Amino acid sequence: MLTIQVNDARLEQQLIEQAQAKGKTAEQLATSILAEALNQLAPLPFSFPRLDPTQHSRPLQFDVDSETDNAPVFEHVTDTVEFANELRQNAWKR
């Protein structure tokens, strides 16, 4: 909520008289006057450009070793429960 203070007694009196003539309160009249004035203003001169992802991205490229590329990753694991416990314990050490 925005509160506006009128420091000019003559302007305040004119606002009250105009509001009474239109059958509104001074707050309603001031709100409608401000709304009309803001609608007449030009839009703000800045905008945000939308980037095209195809121009601002590239595919990830990893160095691949042809000898280990097709090798099974967890070939050295014999007991999966023990391996998971070791991973959990090592994670706490970091």
Report residue 21's pLDDT band, with 50, 70 and 90 as the boundaries. Answer: very high
Sign of CA dihedral 90, 93, 91, 60: negative
Report residue 11's pLDDT band, with 50, 70 and 90 as the boundaries. Answer: very high
Residue pair 77/83 in contact by the 8 Å Cβ criterion: yes
CA angle, corner 5, sides to 3 and 10, nearest 5? Answer: 145
| 31-70 residue pLDDT tens | 999 999 988 988 878 888 888 888 888 887 777 776 666 7
Q: Which pTM value belongs to this model?
A: 0.43
